[in-house]
Structure 1
């Protein structure tokens, strides 16, 4: 941002890669001191993180103990944080307030989720007479888990409208999210669409290649309830059993369900036990190396959501397997478990559209189609020693291009 005349100061929380799974999101930071790091890109202020009682119980006793009590505490902290200076995220507010009291700031940019940051930005904007922009990565009050509780649904709609009322502008990732959030915000607030992208610096200048004899398939990131995970695992298991002479390796990196996956594979996918490698979350540069050393990249259909993972996959220039786009089981999972009301969006997949636009992979219809594709790629690997990618026009999604567009948007404020 500096090249465009902006001096960014990022206030975030400290992160610890202690568990390698979703528990890292709620684990105690290693220090209780604020850490300040000045870099060539700007200033990074990292506040300590102290989990609340519900989170501490989960970390100590696991997810099967004190379930009702923990859920009650979670509901309390989720709602009370918008009114009272409590909860694990309050340190972000206090540090931002401290910085604003001592430094001249032209613009506050708050990114949600967590959406309590929008409330913090709204308060700070009023107190210090500073413009602020709400950056929605996902919808707020329309999330299914918030709408499942009447009190939480009503209060989150109220808090969202209250916070956004004095926002100078809104930034979000896709027309779908714009449509959803527009239903609960003032119509006068302008919305800018800013797509996610990839960091070209960690992919460029690298000539890493996957092995020539073993087909390597990689999935990186979280698994959500609407993903046809078991179906894909069963299909991969079937492929191995029906093609016993083929050599295959499957990497599952940074999933939030590692123990569940290990149990399921052990019970239902015996052929996968020796080829699946579970790995913890890792820095982006290290993840880029893993993607580059893969032949195929597995992506689950997130329907109306585009996400960030697809852009890193595209940057690796390895064929993407989007599972699934024409599958009754996937449709049922979406209707039952999708994060947002399925009636709110066009059921076409944004990921599918992007993959087809850039020729970055294949929109896999169902399990039979996946089997067919795996056999095709295995034959190509056996014949040529590699699996070719024919992607194009992905440079427009590089982080530098996205920053250029974003800077132009900021210039209009």
Structure 2
């Protein structure tokens, strides 16, 4: 007998965002397996972060409705761009002379309990109803964030009596540093909504064991049994085979993704600078490349550590070009501070598939354990500055190498294993 699941995921091809990857994995891993069919409610593209090649990753017989966003979305997007432009300020990178104490600027507060898709939930519910009446799904599965998908699933579940699964790519209320950015009233509203959604959902899926255990401590009783975790995974179908060795003559440390408030660059840059200084290397011998967006502090740190000639930054690439980029680098860099301990970046699993050595500056015990289990590289904690410097030196002195010989060890962290876990949750929900 055919079983159907309605996937609600605003991020979906051709959206070229990291949130799209889990949705692609879900569709590829579930559709056609164990008699399951996937129907999708997604957001039509409304920004320039699109890669239309990603649509080729979706089986042709998967029904996709792009009606999550409403007719007012273009207007909302236009107004949002105008507001953002008016608030933008020039980046100051001057770090000369004695440092003066500066009063700490207050972080900007996020006022809404949800996200920009909140204004589209009416359209999402209407189109969700159409899909349910046409396909009669057995389960609703939400890829979040955006958290507004939970509002839609909760309403559809209550109206049609269909069980739903909350799949959190990132934790919500237990991420204390992000919650601090919310005004008190907004934070309280988020906690109420989170509890409401978790009570309504049949299963709550996290993507790390750490966040799963943390939520189990917060929610006791019957809710406690709803929590499980399914880690992110590399997708062999999405990640095309790339170069095996670096085409660069210069030894290159590479960082894929952005640096921002909760993913800081200072520990990596400080360690790299000390390594360059101690071995007396010039920019023709070693460099550090970043593919992604960086915050203004990054350039201040580059100047402070006198790395202007060693560091380069370029914009992000399309998802299916990832593996060629990663294999063009000699060592892959990761940054994971204590405040980010609830999550493991999705790029880590792409790093595994690339099978180039990983150098992680990480206070995330679960991430460090996975690096050790897969024998994919080395890690040091943020307060171990000498160890960080030594890791840079060790990899450089080892010279350019081929792929890490750990193919069997990384197999459990690929799409096939992830799909089995998705299927297990779906079958448990309808059993």
1:363 aligns with 2:400: no
Query: Does the Cα contact within 8 Å between 2:171 and 2:206 map onto a contact in 1?
Result: no
Question: Which of 114, 118, 135 does residue 103 from structure 1 map onto?
Answer: 135
1:131, distance to aligned residue in structure 2 (A): 1.5
Q: 1:276 to 1:12 in 2, by over 3 A?
A: farther
1:135, distance to aligned residue in structure 2 (A): 1.0
Which structure is richer in relative contact order (CA contacts within 8 A, separation 6 or more)? 2
1:358, distance to aligned residue in structure 2 (A): 0.8
Structure 1 partner of 2:202: 168
Structure 1 partner of 2:422: 406
1:181 aligns with 2:181: no
Query: Does the Cα contact within 8 Å between 1:122 and 1:164 map onto a contact in 2?
Result: no
Q: 1:95 to 1:253 in 2, by over 3 A?
A: farther
Structure 1 partner of 2:231: 195
Structure 2 partner of 1:62: 87
1:168, distance to aligned residue in structure 2 (A): 1.8
Structure 1 partner of 2:152: 120
Question: Which of 335, 352, 355 does residue 300 from structure 1 map onto?
Answer: 335
Structure 2 partner of 1:155: 189
Query: Does the Cα contact within 8 Å between 1:160 and 1:185 map onto a contact in 2?
Result: no
- Which 5+ residue runs of structure 1 have no aligned equivalent? 19-23, 326-347
Structure 2 partner of 1:248: 286
- Which 5+ residue runs of structure 2 have no aligned equivalent? 1-29, 91-104
Q: How far apart are the structure 2 equivalents of 1:254 and 1:14?
A: 24
Question: Which of 134, 138, 157 does residue 170 from structure 2 map onto?
Answer: 138
1:203, distance to aligned residue in structure 2 (A): 4.2
Q: 1:357 to 1:238 in 2, by over 3 A?
A: same
Q: 1:92 to 1:264 in 2, by over 3 A?
A: farther
Q: 1:53 to 1:201 in 2, by over 3 A?
A: closer
Structure 2 partner of 1:231: 267
Q: How far apart are the structure 2 equivalents of 1:111 and 1:157?
A: 19
Q: How far apart are the structure 1 equivalents of 2:209 and 2:169?
A: 12
Query: Does the Cα contact within 8 Å between 2:286 and 2:310 map onto a contact in 1?
Result: yes
Q: How far apart are the structure 2 equivalents of 1:88 and 1:222?
A: 28
Q: How far apart are the structure 1 equivalents of 2:40 and 2:65?
A: 6
1:200, distance to aligned residue in structure 2 (A): 1.5
TM-score normalised to structure 2 length:
0.74
Q: How far apart are the structure 2 equivalents of 1:228 and 1:196?
A: 22
Q: 1:288 to 1:88 in 2, by over 3 A?
A: farther
Structure 1 partner of 2:392: 374
TM-score normalised to structure 1 length:
0.77
1:253, distance to aligned residue in structure 2 (A): 1.3
Q: 1:131 to 1:256 in 2, by over 3 A?
A: farther
| SS in structure 2 of the partner of residue 200 of structure 1 | coil
Q: 1:200 to 1:62 in 2, by over 3 A?
A: same
Query: Does the Cα contact within 8 Å between 1:111 and 1:136 map onto a contact in 2?
Result: yes
Q: 1:275 to 1:108 in 2, by over 3 A?
A: same
| SS in structure 2 of the partner of residue 40 of structure 1 | coil
Query: Does the Cα contact within 8 Å between 2:251 and 2:285 map onto a contact in 1?
Result: yes
Question: Which of 323, 326, 341 does residue 288 from structure 1 map onto?
Answer: 323
1:109, distance to aligned residue in structure 2 (A): 0.4
1:41, distance to aligned residue in structure 2 (A): 6.6
Q: 1:80 to 1:375 in 2, by over 3 A?
A: closer
Query: Does the Cα contact within 8 Å between 1:118 and 1:164 map onto a contact in 2?
Result: no
Query: Does the Cα contact within 8 Å between 1:198 and 1:311 map onto a contact in 2?
Result: yes
Q: How far apart are the structure 1 equivalents of 2:115 and 2:391?
A: 50
1:261 aligns with 2:298: yes
1:71, distance to aligned residue in structure 2 (A): 6.2
Query: Does the Cα contact within 8 Å between 1:304 and 1:349 map onto a contact in 2?
Result: no
Aligned length, in residue pairs:
364
Structure 2 partner of 1:343: none
Q: How far apart are the structure 1 equivalents of 2:420 and 2:350?
A: 19
Query: Does the Cα contact within 8 Å between 1:161 and 1:185 map onto a contact in 2?
Result: no
1:297, distance to aligned residue in structure 2 (A): 0.6
Range 289-298 or range 243-252, more displaced: 243-252
Q: 1:179 to 1:55 in 2, by over 3 A?
A: farther
